[in-house]
Amino acid sequence: MSGSQLKLYQTDNGPCPYRDNYTWHNISFQTSEISADGYTSLLNQGFRRSGLSIYHPVCSGCQSCIPIRIDVQKFSQGKGQRRTWRKNKDVRVEHHPVGFNQEDFNLYQRYQIDWHDTKYPVEESEYFDFLIETPVPTEILRYYLGTELIGVGWLDCLPELISSVYFVFDPEFESRRLGIFSLLYEIQYARFLGIRWLYLGYWVESSHKMNYKSDFQPAQILRDSRWIPFKNQ
């Protein structure tokens, strides 16, 4: 981070997307630049980022958001994952520096409306703030079927780890399980880079939206400021 004084904020983000009848609160700060060591340290304390905002959940009476990371060097695909990998052998992935691209934005808008039932199209400025502005080295991964863009992923790439930021896909290709495929691809990419850890953000045990993360083993979860083995029950 630059030499300016750090200002922490507590934010009220409305209803929790993972647990009914809960509200979502964070402590956060904004920074336009942060060192790789600094962000690695924050990830290892349970922080995540959204654009230039670095945040940590502080919801009253709830500690359900548990940081999770995959040991990519020891990871072995399960039966369903192998099937998904084979199904997408015809998908081509391109790596690009982070930056605004109209086709990416169009797919992001369509994903939010068709998959998440967003009532209004996402504004370009919101998209820019969330996924284009970044204080760390970030890549955009574009997934193509022939010449058609069917998925886009954002990946923070640090010397000792990579952190999966977000992924969107064309809902017309739901049967390909592109969200699962993108994580399998990121695991392969981390191996190629000689990196051990792929950070997946938060796992919420009671949320069906998060169940897929527990299928990537071996993994670790952060408990009481320590990474411990995570056993999928």
DSSP symbols for 23-38: EEEEEEEE-S---HHH
Distances (CA, A) of 185 to 34, 85, 97, 155: 27, 9, 18, 12
Q: Mean pLDDT throughout 128-156?
A: 97
Q: Please tell me the predicted confidence (pLDDT) of residue 168.
A: 96
Q: Mean pLDDT throughout 228-232?
A: 84
* Listed residues 66, 83, 114: the one ending a domain: 66
Do 124 and 202 lie in a common domain?
yes
Is a pLDDT exceeding 80 seen at residue 27? yes
* 22-36, 153-167, 187-201: range with lowest mean pLDDT: 22-36
Domain around 202: 68-230
Q: In terms of pLDDT, which residue wins out, 61 or 224?
A: 224
Is a pLDDT exceeding 80 seen at residue 123? yes
d(CA 127, CA 124): 5
Considering the domain boundaries, does residue 1 fall inside one? no
Considering the domain boundaries, does residue 119 fall inside one? yes
Number of domains comprising the chain: 2
Is a pLDDT exceeding 60 seen at residue 105? yes
Q: Please tell me the predicted confidence (pLDDT) of residue 3.
A: 47
Do 35 and 145 lie in a common domain?
no
| Confidence bin at 36 (pLDDT 50/70/90) | very high
d(CA 130, CA 140): 13
Is a pLDDT exceeding 90 seen at residue 82? yes
| Confidence bin at 232 (pLDDT 50/70/90) | low
Find the CATH number of the domain harbouring 108.
3.40.630.30
Is a pLDDT exceeding 90 seen at residue 89? yes
d(CA 56, CA 200): 14
Considering the domain boundaries, does residue 164 fall inside one? yes
Q: Mean pLDDT throughout 113-117?
A: 80
Q: Mean pLDDT throughout 90-96?
A: 98
d(CA 167, CA 178): 9
* 45-59, 86-100, 172-186: range with lowest mean pLDDT: 45-59
Do 40 and 135 lie in a common domain?
no
Do 156 and 48 lie in a common domain?
no
For the chain, the average pLDDT equals 91
Is a pLDDT exceeding 70 seen at residue 1? no
- Residue 141: what residue type? L
Considering the domain boundaries, does residue 19 fall inside one? yes
The percentage of residues in the chain with a pLDDT greater than 70, rounded to a whole number, is 97
Considering the domain boundaries, does residue 147 fall inside one? yes
- Residue 223: what residue type? R
Do 15 and 77 lie in a common domain?
no
Q: Please tell me the predicted confidence (pLDDT) of residue 5.
A: 60
Q: Please tell me the predicted confidence (pLDDT) of residue 186.
A: 98
Do 85 and 60 lie in a common domain?
no
Do 73 and 151 lie in a common domain?
yes
d(CA 123, CA 112): 11
Q: In terms of pLDDT, which residue wins out, 112 or 206?
A: 112
Considering the domain boundaries, does residue 168 fall inside one? yes
**Which residues are CB-neighbours of 186 under 8 A, at least 6 positions away?**
141, 153, 155, 162, 164, 198
* Listed residues 35, 51, 66: the one ending a domain: 66
Considering the domain boundaries, does residue 97 fall inside one? yes
Q: Mean pLDDT throughout 14-38?
A: 85
Do 81 and 134 lie in a common domain?
yes
* Listed residues 33, 50, 66: the one ending a domain: 66
Q: What's the token pair of residue 153?
A: 């992923």
Do 181 and 100 lie in a common domain?
yes
Considering the domain boundaries, does residue 198 fall inside one? yes
Do 204 and 108 lie in a common domain?
yes
Do 131 and 196 lie in a common domain?
yes
Do 141 and 40 lie in a common domain?
no
* Helix, strand or coil, per DSSP, at residue 202: strand
